[in-house]
Amino acid sequence: MTLHIEFAPQTEAWINAEAQHRSLLPVDLVRRVIEERAANSAPANHPPPVVDAGNIAAIAYLDRKLKEDATDDPEEIRKADEELDELRRNLNANRAASGKRLVFS
């Protein structure tokens, strides 16, 4: 059985950019986020849940996308970094305007 998960373009762009910023593969970023959220939401006396089939499919999808979209073109990398910086500024501005804590420092 194959599970196809499609992300909104903005979500996919954020995952790719954040993974690049952290020097991770998108698949590893997603895996870390899933594991962190599971660990933070699990009661202290229970182990975190195992990554399920849907998450594994999402991780595999992101891994494929990374390989398809990989580039070593400095101009493309510069543009992606600028887009990520702009996204972070906009997200922080929105949170600041609503009185919430900033996500990006």
Give the highest mean pLDDT range of 20-24, 39-43, 45-49: 20-24
Instruction: Give percent above pLDDT 90 in the chain.
Output: 22
pLDDT digits (tens, 9 = 90+) for 45-95: 666 666 777 788 888 898 888 888 888 889 988 998 999 999 999 999 999
Looking at residues 1-26, what average pLDDT do you find?
Answer: 76
Alpha-carbon gap, residue 90 to 46, rounded angstroms? 38
Give the C-alpha distances (Å, rounded to integers) separating 27 from 16, 40, 54, 66, 104. 9, 20, 13, 8, 21
